[in-house]
Amino acid sequence: MAKSALFLILALASLPASAQRAQAELACTPSNTDFAYHCVVRLSRGGQPLPGADVSVGADMPSMPMAHNVRPVKAKPGKAPGEYQARLDLEMLGEWAVKLRLRGPVNDQLILHYDFDEKGARPVIRSGRLPRK
Amino acid sequence: MLELERVSRHFGGVRAVDGLDLKVRDGEIVGLIGPNGSGKSTTVNLVTGLFSLTSGQIRFRGQDIAPLPTHMRLQGGIARTFQNIRLFGQLTVWQNLWVAQNSPADRAKRGFFSRWLGGQSGVRDEIVSLLEFSGLAHKQDELASNLAFGEQRRLELARAMATKPKLLLLDEPAAGMNSEEIGQLRERILKLRERGLTILLVEHVMELVMGVTDRIAVLNFGQKIAEGTPAEIQKDAAVRKAYLGGDAAAAEGGS
Amino acid sequence: MDDYVTGVLTNIGLFSFLALSAYLLLIAGEMSFGQQAFFGVGAYSGGILTAIYGLPLPVAALVAMLLGSLCAFLVGLPTLRLRGLYFAMATLAAAEMARILFELFRFQRQIGGELVGPDGTQGFRGIRWVFERGVEPAGYLALVWGLLLIALVVFLLMERSRLGATLRAIGEDPDLARSCGISVERFKLGVAAAAGALAALGGVLFAHHNTYIEPRNFDIMLGVHSLAYALIGGLGTAFGPLLGVMVDLGVLEGSRVFQGYRMIAFGGLVAILLIFRPRGLLDEKVVHWLRARFS
Amino acid sequence: MLVDLIQNTLDGLTAGAAYALLAIGFTLIFGVLRRINLSYGPAIMLGCYAATWFHVQFQVGLLVLAALTLAATVLAGAYVERLCFAPHRDRSAIAAMVASFAIWMQLEELATLVLPNHLYAFPALYEGGPLSLGPFTLRAEALVMFAVTVLACLALQRLLYRSRFGLSVRAVIDQPVAARLVGINLPWVFVRVFAVASALGAVAGYLIVASAGQVTPMLGMWSTLKGMLAMMLGGLGSLPGAIVGGLALGLIEAHSQWFFGPQVRDLTAYFLLFALLALRPSGLWTTPRHG
């Protein structure tokens, strides 16, 4: 029901179909604790900020997908609309697949790849996996 | 039953078995003796297919079995015991026999499911009678690795019997037994013959070999140096020289 | 139950499929470093079938299992006659080949205005069949554990049967098994195929749980962990691998004492355990003792 | 085209030299213990990490770093031997291998605890650009790598053929049963073999890290896989085979990378390993043994 209503709204707004799903961006700064970050999630849909969602943030290590269970945290609404704040407690530096579970006005699950280091987190640009060449 | 014709097996330069001719007729008990390293165990391994032939022919009931893999030979009716006891130590006594019941006759008798679930009484009855035959009925749920030495020997023989063989190869079944146990073993071997089995007995212990066999073949350095009835073998000069000479007294008197 | 506990329990369930798959080969005497490849085959094929072709999950899972077992059969055919370490190395090579093939695999289609499908190293997003049907984490947890329970019951029945005894016989002494008239190679191929299907089922469930997979998910770490789980838990019963997964994911992960040091604790634990119990906590002797006690 | 081929061959041989060293270490352990040590690479990685840590703290020089890498790797190797191989000496090879995997997990986490970043700079052996030889280029580090590999092989050769220890090692590799019977003190041989193998691994690790100019925890898995691959290509347990296997792996990788790219390079290497195992499990180099 909610879903068909959503379709209707989207159709009325005549947005491109790809705008149907939410988009997310992540900005993280390191905290005082090792491997813990203050993160801001920016949610948007069709270019518009998406406020009011219930967001939980988790993380997985890509090369050990089921073994690192980072406790998902509920994000609090941030300063601007569509912004959410969460503290992410990782187990080590390196690449993590950040899992966003959205509920409320939008029900979705998004996966973002970020590389976490001592300065913060950057989206991953994929390259070879071995140390040399 | 079993015919070996000019059978050889070389390991590099070592001729473990060299041009051996041997015939075992239906219902016979044939002894195969010889000093350590004379090729007795190699012969058994050649017959069961654990080693491949360098040259020669092995026929079982008229059929050339050299190209067959081990398990096919066993399904064809050859079973064996091992010189150093080999059992499935992690399985119970019952399971050891259960696993070995794998002859074509067994499989034809059982349906697909009961074959794996083991529910059929025929299978049970056979195992029960084997357990009784070897005096292990009270130990049926024990792990094979927990059995005493003598019991393990008996289980090994029972396991060989579970495959319903026509030809039984016993590789030093009396090793490490005292003379009372050897006596029991002799009884058991004679009982097996009454059931119509043909037996090739590889053995060191003269007390046993001389007591049960119809014929004896003597190996030395992979070659047959004599063949005949136990009485003939005891008199044979070449055998005395090669084999009985040194340890005849020890082998006959003690062990 | 909060999301975290649900997530951990789901992961324990998912990992158990892989650990059971490794266990099945271990009791038949073969150590495979490559079960993660069949997990990956299941994840990729299952994901493609639901996300691109819109097939229902149960159908996709069945096809994926068939495919997983076919792949395992084909890998097993030339390698199962190898012994011990050689087989382990061959399966490792095969699994790494599979991972690289996933990296080279691109197969994307426009679905609902979005590109869906495997995109090489960029991974495969949008495996949303389960998600779109509004299945909540608790519901999915029940599905995973339900299937795992079925697998366990099948294992327990198998272990009580002659087939189970035969596999253990082959695992303990293949030459002796041959001398009992058992067709060792045929049994091992069957075991490899079944283990492949089991791993593939785990993979399908993993892909639909995660909604996203990538080639690196299926690297050697995953396979070796599943082996270690089976060996920690014990080779005496199918509960062994489950216990192994729980020790690592449940106990070590759950007790936050080890946070940041979990692998140090896990690694040390495994190494020391193997010294005292080389066939795991629930090995054949313990299981036999327990059975004699309680039946 | 021809120039590229020769250039690739040069590059391949250089990489192969490092692989050969790794494979020799692996082979020594496999040949003598009949065990696969998955922690071989991670121990090298830890050695390099220990040196890196020192460098970050105290800015020490190249030679000190090399010595530190060596010492730390041998120490880590000894730890692996005590925990994974000494207890399983007469028991399951599989248990030993899994234990060595468990220790790998430990060492990797230890490294990331000490130095949590994914990458660390390591002082390079040579700061200048590549040397050019006519149309070809050769990195100076490559020359060093090659020279050190040859020296290490010669030293090992001397050790194996000119000392009592070497005699027992060769005896154990060729005739394990006979070696037991003639009363060689096996545990002691094993311990020293581990030390020698770790030292060779440390040399390889140091050269690799110093010519790449960086360390990552991936070095552990990488060294184990490359060492194992090269060992298998050369035939398990054969020392000359390990050298041939290492060089062959380097050449195969360099050429297939040039023709098909990095992913196919790895694919080719694994495919070769798989095909070799399936068709000729005793390896390229050794004559198949009977029995």
Q: For residue C202, which phi and psi values (nearest 5 degrees)?
A: -55, -40
Q: Are B160 and B79 in contact (CB under 8 A)?
A: yes
Q: Are C241 and C229 in contact (CB under 8 A)?
A: yes
Nearest-angstrom CA–CA distance, B156 and B152: 6
**B175 in a domain, yes or no?**
yes
SS3 category, C291:
helix
Contact A133 D262 (CB under 8 A): yes
Q: Are residues B67 and B103 in the same domain?
A: no
Between A20, A69, A97, which is nearest C7 by CB?
A69
Give me chain A's average pLDDT, please: 77
Using a CB-CB cut-off of 8 Å, the residues of chain C touching D236 are 86
From the CA of C187, how many Å to the nearest CA of chain A?
A: 31
Block residue for tokens 């998955």:
D38
Contact C172 B89 (CB under 8 A): yes
Contact A115 D117 (CB under 8 A): no
Domain end, chosen from B164, B184, B201, is at: B164
Domain span at residue B37 reads 1-77+165-229
Tell me the per-residue pLDDT of C107-149, one tens digit each, with 9 for 90 and over: 988 887 778 899 988 889 889 898 888 888 899 999 999 999 9
Using a CB-CB cut-off of 8 Å, the residues of chain C touching D38 are 224
User: What one-letter code names the amino acid at A65?
Assistant: P
Contact C93 D274 (CB under 8 A): yes
Tell me the per-residue pLDDT of A121-132, one tens digit each, with 9 for 90 and over: 888 765 444 333
Return the pLDDT at D32.
86
Contact B88 C176 (CB under 8 A): yes
Return the pLDDT at C171.
92
The DSSP output letter for B143 is B
Tell me the per-residue pLDDT of D198-230, one tens digit each, with 9 for 90 and over: 999 999 999 988 888 888 888 998 899 889 888
SS3 category, C4:
helix
**B235 in a domain, yes or no?**
no
Q: Are residues B175 and B211 in the same domain?
A: yes
Q: Are residues B17 and B33 in the same domain?
A: yes
**B242 in a domain, yes or no?**
no
Return the pLDDT at C254.
67
Higher pLDDT, C247 or A14: C247
Between C78, C82, C224, which is nearest D101 by CB?
C224
Domains located in chain D, CATH noted: 2-279 (1.10.3470)
Return the pLDDT at A1.
47
Return the pLDDT at D289.
41
Q: Are β-strands B29-33 and B215-220 bridged in parallel, bridged antiparallel, or unpaired?
A: parallel
Q: Are residues B53 and B92 in the same domain?
A: no
Return the pLDDT at A128.
41
pTM of the model: 0.86
Return the pLDDT at B244.
56
Tell me the per-residue pLDDT of B160-196, one tens digit each, with 9 for 90 and over: 988 888 899 999 888 888 888 888 889 889 988 888 8
- Number of structural domains, chain B? 2
Whether the pLDDT of residue B107 is over 80: the answer is no
Whether the pLDDT of residue B116 is over 90: the answer is no
Using a CB-CB cut-off of 8 Å, the residues of chain C touching A91 are 259-260, 262
- In CATH, what number is assigned to the domain containing residue B46? 3.40.50.300
Half-sphere exposure of B54 (CA within 13 A, CB side): 20
Whether the pLDDT of residue A5 is over 70: the answer is no
Between C114, C212, C262, which is nearest A111 by CB?
C212
**B247 in a domain, yes or no?**
no
Between B71, B88, B102, which is nearest C168 by CB?
B88
Q: Are C245 and C289 in contact (CB under 8 A)?
A: no
To test the contact with chain C by mutation, choose from B46, B68, B88, B113 the residue with the greatest count of C C-beta atoms within 10 A, namely B88
Contact D266 C93 (CB under 8 A): no
Contact C260 A35 (CB under 8 A): yes
Contacts of B241 (CB under 8 A, 6+ apart): none
Q: What DSSP line would sit under chain A, residue for residue?
A: -HHHHHHHHHHHTT--GGGGS-EEEEEEEE-SSTTEEEEEEEEEETTEE--S-EEEEEEEBTTBTTT--EEEEEPEE-SSTTEEEEEEE-SSSEEEEEEEEEESS--EEEEEEEEE-SS-EEE-----SSS--
Using a CB-CB cut-off of 8 Å, the residues of chain C touching A35 are 260
Tell me the per-residue pLDDT of C139-180, one tens digit each, with 9 for 90 and over: 999 999 999 999 999 999 998 888 999 999 999 999 899 888
A 67-106 residues inside an 8 A Cβ radius of D: 92-95
What percent of chain C is modeled with pLDDT above 70?
97
SS3 category, B70:
helix
**B219 in a domain, yes or no?**
yes
Q: For residue C115, which phi and psi values (nearest 5 degrees)?
A: -80, 120
Return the pLDDT at A3.
52
User: What one-letter code names the amino acid at B238?
Assistant: A
Asked if ipTM goes beyond 0.90, one says no
Chain D contact residues (CB < 8 Å to B): 290-291
Using a CB-CB cut-off of 8 Å, the residues of chain A touching C114 are 17-18, 21
The pLDDT confidence band at residue B255, using thresholds 50, 70 and 90, is: very low
The pLDDT confidence band at residue B251, using thresholds 50, 70 and 90, is: very low
B45 closest CA partner among B21, B16, B19, B24: B16
Q: In terms of DSSP H, where are the helices of B49-205?
A: 70-75, 93-100, 104-109, 112-117, 121-133, 149-162, 179-194
Return the pLDDT at A19.
45
Task: Label residues C186-216 b or e (16+ Cβ within 10 Å = b).
Answer: ebbbbbbbbbbbbbbbbbbbbbbbbbbbbbb
What is the four-CA torsion angle of D269, D270, D271, D272, rounded to 10 degrees? 50
D 13-72 residues inside an 8 A Cβ radius of C: 36, 38
The residue in chain D having the minimum alpha-carbon distance to the alpha carbon of residue A118 is D117
Nearest-angstrom CA–CA distance, D230 and D130: 27
Between B82, B102, B143, which is nearest C181 by CB?
B102
Cα angle for residues A23, A27, A33 (degrees, 5° grid)? 135
Between D102, D109, D232, which is nearest C271 by CB?
D102
Nearest-angstrom CA–CA distance, C192 and C208: 24
Domain end, chosen from B164, B189, B210, is at: B164
**B255 in a domain, yes or no?**
no
Domains located in chain C, CATH noted: 3-294 (1.10.3470)
To test the contact with chain B by mutation, choose from C179, C188, C283 the residue with the greatest count of B C-beta atoms within 10 A, namely C179
User: CB-based contact (8 Å) between D218 and chain C?
Assistant: no
From first to last of its 291 residues, what are the pLDDT tens digits of chain D?
788 888 888 888 888 999 999 999 999 998 888 888 999 999 999 999 999 998 888 888 888 999 999 999 999 999 999 999 988 887 777 788 888 988 998 998 888 888 877 778 888 877 777 777 777 777 788 888 888 889 999 999 899 888 888 888 888 887 776 776 677 788 888 899 999 999 999 999 999 888 888 888 889 988 998 898 888 888 777 888 899 999 999 998 888 888 888 888 888 888 988 988 888 766 555 544 433
**B197 in a domain, yes or no?**
yes
User: CB-based contact (8 Å) between D83 and chain C?
Assistant: yes
Task: Read off the tokens for D77.
Answer: 């190797």
The pLDDT confidence band at residue C75, using thresholds 50, 70 and 90, is: very high
Using a CB-CB cut-off of 8 Å, the residues of chain B touching C181 are 71, 74-75, 100, 102-103, 163
* Topology (CATH level 3) of domain A22-123: Immunoglobulin-like (2.60.40)
Using a CB-CB cut-off of 8 Å, the residues of chain B touching C284 are 90, 143
Q: What DSSP line would sit under D114-170, residue for residue?
A: HS-SS-EE---S--S--EEETTEEE-HHHHHHHHHHHHHHHHHHHHHHHSHHHHHHH
Beta-bridge partners for B167: B78, B198
Contact D116 A92 (CB under 8 A): yes
Q: Are B223 and B9 in contact (CB under 8 A)?
A: no
